[in-house]
Amino acid sequence: MPRISYVNGRYAPHADAYVHIEDRGYQFADAVYEVCEVAKGYIVDMAGHLDRLGRSLDELRMAWPMSRAAFEIVVREVVRRNRVMNGLVYIQVSRGVAPRDFLFPAGGRSSLVVTARKVNPAINAGKAEAGIKVITVPENRWDRVDIKTVGLLPNVLAKEQAKAAGAQEAWFVDADGNVKEGGSSNAWIVTKDGVLVTRPADHGILRGITRTTLFKVAAGLGLKVEERYFSVQEAKEAREAFISSATTIAMPVVAIDGAPIANGHPGSVVLSLRQAFFDVAEKRPA
């Protein structure tokens, strides 16, 4: 069965799904995106992801390409046409196609691309069993990373650097030595007292949808969450560390810059969050 993608008003075979060379997403990274997890045939936390997409569009004064109701139908249709039971759906809205000019095009129409693909859930389950390693890198992104734009070159380079160091994620660190977030995830620790700590979602990080759901999961498990800054040093001495994102849920971190966290194995708190996540998250059939 060929993959089907949605591009500017039509469902096309993935291999033939193109955008124009003067699409502003291509030329200026003038585009925003979302990634939703698909699990057991459900799109996870779709409302939260589309709310955040709306916020990103508003911040950049970009128009929705269609009504939200129609948008939701397209997203679900792409998942359905690709028969994705477990995997992800990717949504990208750009300011559209216009002759190259820095200024917003007058009366331009934003463009929409939606793709979906299957991911074997055993891959993430295996990663969660082993835990992942992270490295730390100095923050070098612009200060509006609360907007989910496709301008991800620093993230690409940081994650390549992590890979070269035998790690799977890079944590951006601010000038004071505090952890911000990962290249494609939020960063968390668990203190010796069992308190979850993650950085406040000010303009310095992306307000992860998974992060928000994990607050509810933690409350349900009777766990306390503190939104505060934490340093690389505090993270290295923590009882547990983990990352969160739509595609990884809560994923244990077992080493930071080569130093093992606690006994170097995934912690019980993150595994219990991971276990309970799907009971709490919003689930919309595709």
Q: Which residues are catalytic?
A: 148
- Select 4 or 52, whichever has its Cβ closest to ligand PLP: 52
Angle of helix 46-59 relative to helix 209-220, nearest 10 degrees?
140
- DSSP state for residue 100 in the 8-state scheme: S
Task: Using only the alpha carbons of the chain, give its radius of gyration.
Answer: 19
Contact 274/246 with Cβ under 8 angstroms? no
Residue list 205-224, contact with ligand PLP (CB under 6 A): 206, 208-211
92 binds ligand PLP (CB under 6 A): no
Task: Please provide the size of the chain in residues.
Answer: 286
* Rounded Cα–Cα distance for residues 197 and 24 (Å): 38
Residue list 113-172, contact with ligand PLP (CB under 6 A): none
Residue 104 exposed, middle or buried by CB count within 10 Å (0-12, 13-18, 19+): middle
Q: How far is the CB of 34 from ligand PLP (least distance, A)?
A: 8
Residue list 13-52, contact with ligand PLP (CB under 6 A): 35
- Select 50 or 98, whichever has its Cβ closest to ligand PLP: 50
The tokens describing 208, both together, are 């992860």
| Contact string (CB under 6 A) for ligand PLP, positions 225-264, x = contact | -------------------xxx------------------
Q: How far is the CB of 273 from ligand PLP (least distance, A)?
A: 13
Residue 264 exposed, middle or buried by CB count within 10 Å (0-12, 13-18, 19+): exposed
Residue from 184, 196, 198, 266 touching ligand PLP (CB under 6 A): that is 184
Our separate counts of H helices and E strands in the chain read 8, 16
The closest alpha carbon to 7, from 105, 83, 91, belongs to: 91
Contacting range for ligand PLP; rule: CB under 6 A; set: 78-86, 99-107, 184-192, 193-201: 184-192
State the chain's maximal CA–CA distance in angstroms.
58
* Rounded Cα–Cα distance for residues 255 and 39 (Å): 28
- Select 62 or 243, whichever has its Cβ closest to ligand PLP: 243
- Select 209 or 254, whichever has its Cβ closest to ligand PLP: 209
- DSSP state for residue 143 in the 8-state scheme: S
Residue count at the site for ligand PLP (CB under 6 A)?
A: 13
- Select 97 or 171, whichever has its Cβ closest to ligand PLP: 171
Q: How far is the CB of 20 from ligand PLP (least distance, A)?
A: 26
Q: How far is the CB of 45 from ligand PLP (least distance, A)?
A: 8
Give the footprint of ligand PLP on this chain (CB under 6 A): 35, 181, 184-186, 206, 208-211, 244-246
